[in-house]
Structure 1
Amino acid sequence: MLTFDIENFPGYPQGIGGPEMMVQLREQAERFGLEVHDKNVEKVDVSNRPFSKSGLKEKNISLRP
């Protein structure tokens, strides 16, 4: 997230910092079972669902939008 301040977003009447909002969104998604992989992606195949990606020195994994 490159935005420093977010001033006009529902649920944040006083605004929120971009990095702080990203942490909150990630925590919420993890609470519902999201597995976070901080990796570089080389290629994403969107021709079929679930999507698949390939990364550097990694096995392919499936992605659900």
Structure 2
Amino acid sequence: MRVKCIICDKIEKIEDSLPAAKKLRNRPIHTYMCEECRTRITDNTTKRISTGQFFVFRSGKQKDLLQ
């Protein structure tokens, strides 16, 4: 299966039997990211977390927001 990285637009070929290929085939909303972009983002995120200035804002349940 040919896939295109959402960030760098590099086209790669992955095996049809891989779980990622099945997700892309069955649910088109899923996107593919190449390994180079994935490691770059992971490294940058790890660096940001280590500075102490990185905060993850996660939304709570809707009823918690209404109170």
TM superposition score category, shorter chain reference: 0.3 to 0.5
Give the TM-score normalised by the residue count of structure 1: 0.33
Which has the larger Rg?
2
Which protein is richer in strand relative to its size?
1
Structure with bigger RCO (C-alpha 8 Å, 6+ apart): 2
